Homo-oligomer: A and B are copies of this chain.
Amino acid sequence: MTSEPLSRKRIVAAAIELIEREGADAVSMRRIAAELGVGVMSLYNHVPNKDALLSGVAESVLSEIEFTDDPAAHWTDRVRIQARAFRQIAHHYPRSTMLVVSRQLHSNAGLLPVERALATLRSAGFDGPEAVKMLRMFIAFIVGTLLREVGVTPSFAPMPATLRADQVDPELFPTVAELAPMLDRCDPDEEFDFGVELLVQAISVHRERAPGEPDALPGSAAPSPERLG
């Protein structure tokens, strides 16, 4: 009747499909078992508990990131490509992304992106501590942006529904009222790219204050503001 013999992989796949179809709240051991045409407790022969299953989901999604890194390319382009690769899976598994981003992984599954990113930053001339700081900046930006795109993240982000022209009091919040039309619609692709460019540029400028290898971003011999550091 049931052709394939049940396995951790099949269970995780079913979980992902369920999450994408009905949302993370719909996930329960009973539901997944039903989806697989299987008794609930059979799952526990392949997965120690629900938490581990969700970690499996996160790992699985994370491992689908396609890294086509070209070490010969300019580091700014490599950063751009890596950032977009990361975002791409978030679009492929929008509802699972929340899970990926809000779980503390206890395996090496998520280390490959880190490895690639750090290697890229090192090749750009940053020393160890700098590369780590830059990476953290990028991760924070990407995580924050993806959370907003995926539909989580609250009103100061803000939600289209509430401030649609009416509702918001122009006396209390004049600027919000004025900019309401811009706040409730936006082009996610453009905003993401804009953010990446902003960060890349900021990093370029920062890098040149304490030069590593002479790998300058074309055209940016910018003196930097004193406030930095």
Which residues of A does B touch, CB under 8 Å?
58, 62, 76, 98, 100-115, 118-119, 122, 128-129, 131-133, 136-137, 139-145, 147-148, 151-159, 161-163, 167-169, 172-176, 178-179, 182-183, 186, 191, 194-195, 197-206, 217-229
Query: Which B residues are in CB contact (< 8 Å) with A183?
Result: 114, 132
Distance, CA A178 to CA B127, complexed state (A): 11
A156 touches B110 (CB 8 A): yes
B221 touches A223 (CB 8 A): yes
Least CB distance from A177 to B in Å reads 9
B182 touches A128 (CB 8 A): yes
A139 touches B132 (CB 8 A): no
A219 and B229 contact, Cβ closer than 8 Å, known pairs A110-B154, A110-B158: no
A141 and B139 contact, Cβ closer than 8 Å, known pairs A182-B128, A202-B201: no
A144 and B140 contact, Cβ closer than 8 Å, known pairs A158-B114, A194-B133, A205-B201: yes
A225 and B202 contact, Cβ closer than 8 Å, known pairs A108-B168, A112-B173: no
SS of A interface (majority): helix
A218 and B225 contact, Cβ closer than 8 Å, known pairs A156-B113, A206-B198: yes
Least CB distance from A127 to B in Å reads 10
Query: Which B residues are in CB contact (< 8 Å) with A168?
Result: 108, 111
Query: Which B residues are in CB contact (< 8 Å) with A148?
Result: 136, 139-140, 143
B103 touches A154 (CB 8 A): yes
Query: Which B residues are in CB contact (< 8 Å) with A136?
Result: 145, 148, 157, 186, 191, 195
- A selection of 25 A-B contacts at a CB cut-off of 8 Å is A103-B154, A104-B155, A105-B156, A108-B169, A111-B158, A111-B172, A113-B156, A114-B156, A114-B183, A115-B175, A119-B174, A122-B175, A132-B179, A136-B186, A139-B144, A141-B141, A144-B144, A144-B145, A197-B227, A198-B199, A199-B202, A201-B225, A202-B202, A204-B225, A220-B223
B227 touches A223 (CB 8 A): no
A155 touches B110 (CB 8 A): yes
Least CB distance from A1 to B in Å reads 38
Closest to A159 in B: B104
9 additional A-B residue pairs with CB within 8 Å, beyond A76-B227, A110-B154, A221-B223 = A106-B159, A106-B162, A108-B155, A108-B162, A114-B176, A132-B179, A140-B145, A204-B225, A218-B226
